[in-house]
Amino acid sequence: MADRLRSTWIEDLPSHLILEILSSGRLSAVDLACLDLTSRTFRGSHGLFPHKFQSLVDFAAFQLCGSHPIYAPLGPNARNELFNRCSGNWKRVLRFLQSVEQSSDMVETSAGNMQIRTGRYHTLLIKDSSVYACGSSLCGVLGRGPETTQCVAFTMINFPSRARVIQLSASHNHAAFVMQSGEVFTCGDNSSFCCGHSDIGRPIFRPRLVEALKGIPCKQVAAGLSFTMFLTRRGHVYTCGANAHGQLGHGDTLDRPTPTIVEQLESVGSVVQIAAGPSYSLAVIDDGTIYSFGSGTNFCLGHGEQYNELQPRAIQSFRRKAKHIVRVSAGDEHVVALDSSGFVYTWGKGYCGVLGHGDEIDKTTPEFLSSLKSHVAVQVCASKRKTFVLADDGSVYGFGWMGFGSLGFLDRGASDKVTRPRILDSLRPHHISQVSTGLYHTVVVTNRGRIYGFGDNERAQLGHDTLRGCLEPTEIFLQEMECDEGLVSEPE
């Protein structure tokens, strides 16, 4: 009996089973690193892996990288460059791939899976499939009914009982939510059809299912100023809403009351990520090409000119340089992109140094941000006159306009400009996993699941009812249970 109850060590397991467990994809890069340090199994190869790998865990990380959706499409040169950038460490390569994937999705923290998104005067948060909101509920953007004009603390939004939210996007006056089922819900101002519903008589005050996408499961949404993009699990893009500049990508300037597929993107490959600016759109294809369409103002389309594009057009400068783009962020007047080696590129209006090149000169096409070349970036985030870059070590770099302290530098004035990337010392005590920035406020999530915000809080967009603004990162807390406390109602 005692033998049956004896503890089983990992060394006692069959070697082929150990390798299968390590390469199953259920373990994170951190898990692999811990195993690498603690298990006596990995002192020798035991003939289980080629000698060029440092350990069995290193070999398992290599196998996981090979099947990763970001790594698999890369060519030999791009793979080698990434491997060298990560100091020849497959666990770091895996951590990079996972961090990039999570930057536009849910991040895994020790407190659960989370995603943070900031709108103009509000903030939305997913925590373990539940959604919390704070700030101004203009036109019902917080989804808490017509009686709510403001939430002064993070408060839960009600969805159908079985709905589990996995991704969201926040714009000025509307929001969109993707469910685990692939269904999409929207709320807010629908006067331009941006919520995907044909009735425009009044705002949508509570999240409503987009009926036109029934049977078309989605994995990502991107909310522009008066339009919305939807990315399906099959890699197709649908758009709806205002189309005065061609931002819907259908070859015309006609508004679309319900989501309509962007046909031209179907023929170029599978789309892996989308981003929506105020009146322009970006789509990243699995081969690393960025397609842009909509308003050409401020050179945001990256083609070297300011003409509107009514259909998706590839940004050729990346193709000519054989750069494989994996993620892109659309700001109000500029764009930031991340390539497969963790390098950063910016273009658009250079006002306030938002492009990070040490000046305020506009960049008509993508330009490499050389000052960050020694850092491996995993997320880029662009907004109104400011930019953030998250590195793989959890540090955050910011540049652009301070704007009510929303850039996060404690030694700079509220209207100062920072024209080159600079590390946010105020966040050094934390390992940041995701960053999002709105008009005048910024919110980050740490790897421990803690939430910090800084900048303007005039409309409680930082989740505090006693502060007008926060120059120093201040922790934000959730109301874990559904509660109507802290809500400001419309006057009767």
The single-letter DSSP state of residue 480 is: -
In the chain, domain spans: 10-103, 107-379+476-489
Of the candidates 265, 136, 239, the residue with the CA atom closest to the CA atom of residue 184:
239
**Is residue 175 helix, strand or coil?**
strand
**Mean pLDDT over all residues of the chain?**
90
For residues 119 and 175, is the Cβ–Cβ distance under 8 A? yes
CA dist list (Å): 56 to 19, 94, 155, 368, 369? 7, 15, 45, 37, 36
Mean pLDDT, range 320-344, rounded to an integer: 97
Length of the chain counted residue by residue: 492
Half-sphere exposure of 56 (CA within 13 A, CB side): 26
**Least confident segment among 31-35, 186-190, 305-309, 407-411:** 31-35
pLDDT band at 6 (very low <50, low <70, confident <90, very high): very low
* Residue 320, pLDDT score: 94
Q: What's this model's pTM, rounded to 2 decimal places?
A: 0.91
Say which CATH class 107-379+476-489 falls into: mainly beta
Tokens (6 digits) for 302:
């990256």
Mean pLDDT, range 322-333, rounded to an integer: 98
Q: What values do phi and psi take at 466, rounded to 5?
A: -110, 0
**Is residue 102 helix, strand or coil?**
helix
* Residue 489, pLDDT score: 37
pLDDT band at 26 (very low <50, low <70, confident <90, very high): low
Asked if the model's pLDDT at residue 17 lies above 80, the reply is no
β 309-314/334-339 pair status: unpaired
Contacts 24+ apart (CB under 8 A), 22-29: 22/56, 22/57, 22/60, 23/60, 23/63, 23/64, 25/64, 25/67, 28/95, 28/98, 28/108, 29/61, 29/91, 29/92, 29/94, 29/95, 29/98
Most confident of 51-55, 58-62, 155-159, 218-222: 218-222
Tokens (6 digits) for 461:
């967009």
Q: SS3 sequence, 354-381?
A: CCCCCCCCCEEEEEECHHHCCCCEEEEE
pLDDT band at 49 (very low <50, low <70, confident <90, very high): low
**Is residue 329 helix, strand or coil?**
strand
The string of pLDDT tens digits covering residues 221-252 is 999 999 999 999 999 999 999 999 999 999 99
Cα–Cα distance between 318 and 266 in angstroms, integer? 20
4-29 burial code (b ≥16 CB/10 A, e <16): eeeeeeeeeeeeeebbeebbeeebeb
Question: Taken in order 383, 169, 314, 390, is the CA torsion positive or negative?
Answer: positive
Mean pLDDT, range 252-275, rounded to an integer: 97
Cα–Cα distance between 311 and 265 in angstroms, integer? 9
